């Protein structure tokens, strides 16, 4: 059991929003994709996309580990923005999130190895990255993953709606936007078991989740063909350690110095600003759930004073924290530019919020406080001869997976303000923050 006197937040600063053109219009999702066709069930491209993003995630985790405080009294919290994992079609097929323990159960997918055999999927791959004992004092919030479920029959996706002809409109996707919250250091067998691993989902769908694209010759998940899987009217919080999906959680081995369990809250983007009960505060604040660490992975959201809901310990010294890691805007509005931002707030006994740190678009290559993740990764598989991917699997650059701006058409007008605010494409940076004092005791 770990007892911690401090926490160290280590955000991954990476742009996770859509690709824009030179006139501030969202035109595509970044990711591995085929040039034409329906990208929503282009399984091989999605598998390769997952492998590439996991390889970059491993690089980010290693950079964070090398720079982190090594003390066993410091709990390291690695956090990434919303939409870190979604693929070139806007959402992975839901079966790819957890993979399969034997041969791929969908024979019509014709996947090469390793995907055709036992394959851990996205969440299984992420758990494996941090299963080593050296990560025992770490908690990982791996941004979010967007996945889509479709109606199926005899193991095959129904690509047209019920009663429609082969040329009819496909059925809508039921989409999930989930955050994997993983304790490090538990080994490959224990890592996936409760209470070392937790999944919480976003309940409110925002305009940035899916966008109406006009892609010639392609179909993707967009606002016109998706439905949210979670009940958008939900407001009641589950109790700690009862079931997945709650915004409140705790882990028996992560404790204050007095032995009480550290209480965490995770709200994904819009869930921090509104909930089914009220449109002006998030899930935690609405139900009066105060936590020691409030984490908000987002893509276009900032911390809201009415939604910050921290335990009140010492009004003179901050010892409970709210942290926002965003992958879309430089700080407060789109007018500040697309990019990333970080916010660290505390709260006193009067409920007033105090800014401890705010960094908008911290992508200065000379900034010593953040560390480049890396430029490219390799994905190895038994590639079929007819595989058509818009990349070389032997060298997949980060800008294929995360990019704020595409290549403009020859002669197309480019708004100068777009260029001035463009986030450098690629896997971004990790920024280890100085350790912060944590209350030695729990309780409200």
Quick one: 292 exposed, middle or buried, by C-beta within 10 A (0-12, 13-18, 19+)? buried
Domain range list for the chain: 2-437
- Out of 3.60.110, 3.90.1720, 1.20.1300, 2.40.128, the CATH code matching 2-437 is 3.60.110
H helices present in 168-302, as ranges: 187-190, 270-273, 283-286
Q: Does 337 score more than 70 pLDDT?
A: no
User: pLDDT, tens digit, for every residue of 206-220?
Assistant: 666 666 565 555 566
Q: Averaged over 75-80, what is the pLDDT?
A: 98
Q: Does 155 score more than 90 pLDDT?
A: no
| In the chain, % of residues over pLDDT 70 | 76
From 302, 293, 325, 294, select the one nearest 430 (Cα to Cα): 325
* Model pLDDT, residue 360: 77
Quick one: 313 exposed, middle or buried, by C-beta within 10 A (0-12, 13-18, 19+)? buried
- Going by pLDDT thresholds of 50, 70 and 90, the confidence category of residue 441 is confident
Quick one: 406 exposed, middle or buried, by C-beta within 10 A (0-12, 13-18, 19+)? middle
- Going by pLDDT thresholds of 50, 70 and 90, the confidence category of residue 336 is low
Mean pLDDT of the chain: 81
Q: Does 398 score more than 80 pLDDT?
A: yes
- In DSSP terms, 28 is beta-bridged to 19
Q: Averaged over 81-94, what is the pLDDT?
A: 92
* Lowest-confidence pick of 150-164, 243-257, 308-322, 323-337: 150-164
* Lowest-confidence pick of 75-89, 164-178, 283-297: 164-178
Q: For residues 63 and 163, which has the higher predicted lDDT (pLDDT)?
A: 63
* Lowest-confidence pick of 47-56, 233-242, 256-265: 233-242
Q: Averaged over 138-166, what is the pLDDT?
A: 68
* Lowest-confidence pick of 31-45, 251-265, 291-305, 414-428: 414-428
d(CA 379, CA 190): 27
User: pLDDT, tens digit, for every residue of 293-328?
Assistant: 999 999 988 999 989 999 877 777 889 999 999 998
DSSP line for 326-337: ESSBSSSSGGG-
Q: Does 38 score more than 90 pLDDT?
A: no
* Lowest-confidence pick of 251-255, 311-315, 392-396: 311-315
Torsion of Cα atoms, 72 then 290 then 358 then 430, to 10°: 40
From 337, 159, 307, 330, select the one nearest 247 (Cα to Cα): 307
Q: Does 181 score more than 60 pLDDT?
A: yes
**Three-class secondary structure of residue 243 per DSSP:** coil
Classify strands 145-149 and 436-437 as parallel, antiparallel or unpaired.
unpaired
Q: Averaged over 359-364, what is the pLDDT?
A: 70
User: pLDDT, tens digit, for every residue of 420-437?
Assistant: 666 777 999 999 999 999
Q: For residues 210 and 380, which has the higher predicted lDDT (pLDDT)?
A: 380
Q: Does 84 score more than 90 pLDDT?
A: yes
d(CA 143, CA 208): 15
Q: Does 169 score more than 60 pLDDT?
A: no
Q: Averaged over 348-361, what is the pLDDT?
A: 82
Q: Give, in order, the Cα–Cα distances in Å from 6 to each of 166, 179, 256, 257, 439.
A: 59, 24, 9, 10, 8
d(CA 367, CA 431): 10
Q: Give, in order, the Cα–Cα distances in Å from 203 to each of 62, 178, 233, 247, 328.
A: 32, 9, 8, 10, 19
* Model pLDDT, residue 348: 76
Q: Is the peptide bond before 195 cis (omega within 30 degrees of 0)?
A: yes
Within 10 angstroms of residue 353's Cβ, the number of other Cβ atoms is: 17
Residues recorded for the chain: 444
* Radius of gyration in angstroms for the set of CA atoms belonging to the chain, rounded to a whole number: 21
* Lowest-confidence pick of 79-93, 146-160, 346-360: 146-160
User: pLDDT, tens digit, for every residue of 113-136?
Assistant: 999 999 999 999 999 999 999 999
d(CA 77, CA 202): 20
* Model pLDDT, residue 373: 96
d(CA 63, CA 76): 13
Q: Measured in Å, how far apart are the chain's first and last C-alpha atoms?
A: 22
Q: Does 372 score more than 90 pLDDT?
A: yes
Within 10 angstroms of residue 443's Cβ, the number of other Cβ atoms is: 11
From 405, 435, 408, 434, select the one nearest 422 (Cα to Cα): 405
In contact, 209 and 220? CB cutoff 8 Å = no
């Amino acid at each position: 059991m770990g007892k911690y006197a401090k926490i160290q937040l280590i955000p991954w600063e990476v742009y996770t929003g859509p690709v824009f053109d030179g006139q501030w219009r969202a035109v595509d999702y970044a990711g591995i994709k085929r040039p034409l066709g329906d990208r929503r069930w282009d399984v091989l491209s999605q598998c390769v996309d997952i492998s590439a993003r996991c390889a970059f995630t491993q690089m980010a985790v290693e950079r964070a580990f090398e720079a982190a405080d090594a003390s066993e009294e410091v709990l390291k919290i690695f956090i990434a923005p919303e939409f870190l994992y979604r693929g070139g079609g806007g959402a992975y097929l839901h079966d790819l999130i957890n993979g399969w323990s034997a041969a791929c159960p969908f024979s019509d997918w014709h996947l090469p190895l390793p995907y055709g055999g036992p394959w851990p999927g996205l969440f299984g791959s992420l758990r494996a990255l941090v299963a080593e004992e050296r990560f025992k004092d770490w908690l990982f919030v791996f941004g979010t993953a967007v996945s889509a479920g479709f109606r199926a029959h005899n193991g095959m996706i129904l690509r047209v709606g019920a009663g429609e002809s082969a040329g009819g409109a496909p059925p809508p996707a039921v989409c999930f936007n989930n955050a994997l919250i993983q304790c490090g250091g538990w080994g490959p067998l224990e890592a996936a078991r409760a209470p070392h691993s937790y999944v919480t989902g976003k309940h409110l769908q925002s305009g940035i989740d899916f966008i109406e694209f006009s892609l010639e010759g392609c179909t993707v998940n967009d606002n016109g063909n998706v439905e949210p899987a979670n009940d958008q009217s939900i407001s009641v919080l589950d109790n700690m350690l009862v079931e997945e999906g709650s915004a409140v959680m705790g882990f028996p081995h992560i404790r204050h110095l007095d032995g009480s369990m550290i209480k965490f809250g995770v709200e994904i983007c819009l869930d921090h600003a509104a909930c089914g009960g009220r449109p002006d505060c998030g899930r935690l604040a609405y139900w009066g759930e105060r936590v020691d660490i409030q984490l908000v992975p987002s893509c276009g959201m900032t911390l809201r004073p009415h939604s910050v809901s921290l335990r009140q310990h010492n009004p003179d010294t901050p010892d409970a924290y709210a942290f926002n890691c965003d992958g879309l805007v430089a700080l407060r509005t789109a007018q500040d530019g697309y990019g990333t931002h970080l916010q660290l707030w505390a709260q006193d006994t009067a409920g007033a919020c105090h800014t401890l740190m705010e960094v908008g678009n911290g992508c200065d290559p000379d900034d010593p406080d953040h560390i480049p993740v890396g430029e490219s990764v390799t994905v190895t598989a038994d590639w079929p001869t007819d595989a058509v991917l818009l990349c070389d699997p032997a060298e997949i650059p980060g800008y294929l997976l995360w990019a704020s701006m595409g290549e403009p058409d020859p002669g197309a007008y480019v708004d100068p303000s777009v260029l001035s605010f463009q986030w450098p494409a690629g896997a971004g940076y990790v920024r280890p923050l100085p350790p912060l004092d944590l209350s030695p005791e729990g309780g409200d």
